[in-house]
Amino acid sequence: MCTLFIADLHLSEHEPAITAGFLRFLKEQAIHAKALYILGDFFDFWIGDDDPNPLHQQIAQALMTLKNAGVPCYFIHGNRDFLIGSRFAKESGITLLPQEKVLEIEKHRILILHGDTLCTDDEAYQRYRKKVHNKFIQRLFLLLPLFIRLRIADKMRSRSQHENQYKSDAIMDVNPQAVIDTFKHFNTEWMIHGHTHRPAIHTVNIDDKIHYRGVLGAWHTEGSMFKVTAEKIELIHFPF
């Protein structure tokens, strides 16, 4: 039996191939798993559980079908979908997790997280993150009519895309010290995250002990997942 991890699908009605790829992944792979973990940026953006977008209902139903087949799904928010709340969780049967969670799977101790909190060199992003994670600001935002929330999200998306052109690759990657501090804080041998869209398994030497940082790929043209079994932890890419 395996446990599967995915992130950064950026599901949207404008990318039907990714949705189809995800639905196929559920039917052909996740269905055989012990559990599925989604590590954020599952949707391209999320402006509230009351958004009547039919894609959201379709995905909720598919996740509920998975749950009813005996495969629980756990979710960590990303920087695009941090507003996913209890209503969507109920409709889809997913369990919302805190931003960092340590799992004990077979003999492995694995920290899971979205990955944006490790990008500490991106100071503009970290300042922005602090604001949009403020519960009071979130509550105010959710009180706005949907069309205004959509307009604000559009503005944020285009400003983010514009600013990212001028940020170096290094700034938008994880900070090595933040990775070491996080490993030490959670005392795990492994971490798995997404966000940077740079799929790899990195080794990190801390006090003469090897640690592993697994990075999931974004689902642009193929699927990306980590598969954890008693024997091994693998990064796997597969066609939609």
Is 160 annotated to bind a ligand? Reply is: yes
Among all chains, which residue has been given the structure tokens 């798993």?
33
Q: Quote the tokens at residue 93.
A: 């049967």
Residues 6+ apart with CB under 8 A from 86: 49, 96
Is 68 annotated to bind a ligand? Reply is: no
Compute the residue count for the chain. 240
Closest to Mn ion by CB, 61 vs 126, is 126
Closest to Mn ion by CB, 3 vs 79, is 79
Question: What is the rounded distance in angstroms from the CA atom of residue 223 to the CA atom of residue 206?
Answer: 31
Which of 20, 96, 132, 170 contacts ligand LP5 by CB under 6 A? 132
Which of 21, 48, 78, 199 contacts Mn ion by CB under 5 A? 78
Least Å distance, CB 138 to ligand LP5, is 5
Q: Which of ligand LP5, Mn ion, none has residue 190 at its interface (CB below 5 to 8 Å by kind)? A: none
Question: What is the rounded distance in angstroms from the CA atom of residue 108 to the CA atom of residue 140?
Answer: 41
Q: Quote the tokens at residue 47.
A: 């402006």
Q: For the stretch 34-51, what's the b/e string if a residue is b when 16 or more beta carbons lie within 10 angstroms of its beta carbon?
A: ebbbbbbbbbbbbbbbeb
Binding site for ligand LP5 (CB under 6 A): 45, 47, 79-80, 83, 116, 119, 122, 124-125, 128, 132, 137-138, 141, 152-153, 155-157, 159-160, 163-164, 167, 172
Residues that bind Mn ion (CB under 5 A): 41, 78-79, 195
